[in-house]
A and B are shown apart, each in its own frame.
Chain A
Amino acid sequence: MTSVTLSGGPRPQSAYSRWANRHRRWLFAAPAMVFIALLIIFPIIWTLWLSLTDASGSVRAEASFIGIDNYVTVLTDTTRFWPAVGRTALFTGVVLFFEMIFGLGIALLLWRPFRGEKWVRVAILLPLVATPVAVGMMWRLIFDPTIGPVNKILGVVGIPPQPWLAGELTALPTTMFMDIWQWTPMVALIILAGLTSLSDEPFEAARVDGASAWQTFRYITLPMLSSTLIVALMLRGIDALKTFDILLAAKGKGGGSFNEVETLNLYGYGLSFDYNEYGLSSTVLILFFIIIVASIFLLTRKREEAAK
């Protein structure tokens, strides 16, 4: 049967190892689960409690219960909260759109073997492993209004210099561009993995039937790829909603009023650690949490529908 030979036949087991084997599934799984649960459950409950108090100043300061006042304050706040919700949605929507389109395009280009494939793959890996804070700094230099190459190149064609990361209208699109640069390769890799796992037969059948490249793509590749596309969308969607490093690094300390790129994540962080408004920030974070869970729920439903 197998070539594994050990010291002849089943060995007598101690009571302990019989017990351990019987409870193996929890013995193995529980430590990891307990670790994660401890680091999640306490914070969520505590954040929920804080959101019902007027906690501010210091995390140790006395806080009194004020009911849903914070929620009223936050939900009626049209100067910071709702614009932050809008920016979060806009940022996520736009980067997801471009990352999926470009990612699909790159994956299709890489699908069939060609010379120099290895080098392209290396290039695709670089943004993925680059430290997001350093990436933010790198783009800060490149988009710098006076010394950055972007404005210098645009100057050659006669376009006046733009205050990319500091401009009210340009800041958010510029950070979107940075996110698309860093994470499109991720989508491309996931879709490429999906493409390579497809069987060849439908494609050969399509060729025999004389289908055009577009028809093959539209009626064979896309439908067969739909579950992979949704996986990519979910993974990137979760992370895009939570984008933090690039935004904070790109604007950073003294980077203007900061509000042009203030997403829910940055707003919550600022309320906690710049203004020490723990009650309010907890409210924002609980609402943020609800938004994330709801989006994942919706996407999972979509995924199950697609699987049918």
Chain B
Amino acid sequence: MITTTGYKIFRFTALALIVAMLVLPIVWMVLAAFKTNVDIYDAAKTVIFTPTMENFGKVFAQGNFGQYIFNSALIAVAATGLSMVLGVPAAFAMSRFVMNKSALVVLMARVIPGVSLLVPWYYLFSQMRLVGTYWVLILSHMFVALPLIVYIMMGFFDGLPVELEESGQVDGLTPIGSFWHLMLPLSTPGMATAGILAFIFSWNNFMFALVLSSSSTKTLPVAIYDFIGYAAIDWGALMAASTVVTVPIMVIALFTQKYIVSGLTAGATKG
């Protein structure tokens, strides 16, 4: 490979530009969250300004944001957990018995535009008096999480040798027992990957909660969207709200980097 000085300089410059392009907008958002609305307008106070917590105070006072954080976390955790319970055994069976057509059914959920499901869901769930409850939001977020988990776990189980499971059975485990006692413990890294990604996608999901939540079960993305009224925008508060939803998920991502990358690229190299 070319490792000339010229290429090194080119690579350094290019990567520096890319990093700046990706990071600076986020920095801008976070900085604005700590500025007064007057300072946001002031070009001279781009970086040097007196930080204020006023925006965050406003967000939590007027928007009932604590509740929305709780809602988002509860729904994402429940949807991820339940999807794991359904998805991991399904992925195992689909990988082990090469059930490609069945896998396709689950993956259909990735393909169908969510909008085309919203009207029927809204009708169905309002007949069942479920609209606005946590249950309907957990169900709809499972619809996002489950295909992701099946997809990632199928790839993971494909990589575990069948012999391992058979040797467990030689030693007296039933097939279901060997799944439970052998395959599950071995697939912990895969489950971490699938679980973290499912959590992130559920946390970030906007469309389903936009229609199916009520004012008390609203999730964070919907709460932020509701922040923009028809009148003038309170930029400081809006950026504070955006920071509140984005920063926690970024911190989680930083600590679980390895898992996220392997999950996002699952299946990419097998072609």
The 8 Å CB contact of B94, one of A29, A126, A141, A147, is A29
Q: How large is the interface on B (under 10, 10 to 19, 20 to 34, 35 or more residues)?
A: 35 or more
Indicate whether B139 reaches chain A with its CB closer than 8 angstroms. yes
Q: Using an 8 Å CB-CB cutoff, how does the interface string of B186-216 with A read, 1 for contact, 0 for none?
A: 0000000000000010011011000100000
Nearest chain B residue, comparing its CB with the CB of A242: B113
Which A206-257 residues sit within 8 Å CB-CB of chain B?
207, 213, 227-228, 230-232, 238, 241-242, 244-245, 248-249, 252-254
A137 touches B238 (CB 8 A): yes
- Total residue contacts A-B, CB cutoff 8 A: 314
Within the complex, which residue of A10, A141, A186, A191 is in contact with B29, where a contact is CB–CB below 8 Å? A141
Q: Decide: A213 and B2 in contact? CB cutoff 8 A.
A: yes
**Known contacts A1-B167, A33-B106; A129 and B200 CB within 8 A of each other:** yes
Residues of chain A lying within 8 A (CB to CB) of residue B3? 112
B128 on the A face (CB < 8 A): no
Interface presence of B110 (CB below 8 A): yes
Which residue of chain B lies nearest to A212 when distances are taken between CB atoms in the complex? Answer: B2
Q: Judge if B64 is at the interface, Cβ distance under 8 Å.
A: no
The answer to whether A159 has its CB under 8 Å from any CB of chain B is no
Q: Are B94 and A231 in contact (CB under 8 A)?
A: no
Closest to A289 in B: B116
Beta-carbon contact of B112 and A32 below 8 Å: no
Residue from A35, A231, A232, A242 within 8 A of B146 (CB atoms): A35
The 8 closest A-B pairs by CB, nearest first: A227-B271, A43-B120, A28-B93, A32-B90, A193-B265, A134-B242, A285-B116, A28-B89
Chain B positions near chain A (C-beta within 8 angstroms): 1-3, 11, 14-15, 18-19, 21-23, 25-26, 28-29, 32, 40-41, 43, 46, 86-87, 89-90, 92-94, 96-97, 99, 102, 105-106, 108-124, 126, 139, 142-143, 146-147, 150, 167-168, 170-176, 179, 182, 200, 203-204, 206-207, 211, 220-222, 224-225, 228-231, 233, 235, 238-239, 241-243, 245-246, 249-250, 252-254, 257, 260-261, 264-265, 267-269, 271
Q: Using a CB–CB distance below 8 Å, which chain A residues touch chain B?
A: 1-2, 4-11, 13, 17, 20-21, 24-33, 35-37, 39-40, 42-44, 46-47, 50, 59-60, 105-106, 109-110, 112, 114, 116, 119-135, 137-142, 144, 146-147, 149, 152, 181, 185-186, 189-194, 196-197, 203, 207, 213, 227-228, 230-232, 238, 241-242, 244-245, 248-249, 252-254, 265, 268-269, 272-273, 278, 281-282, 285-286, 288-289, 292-293, 296, 307
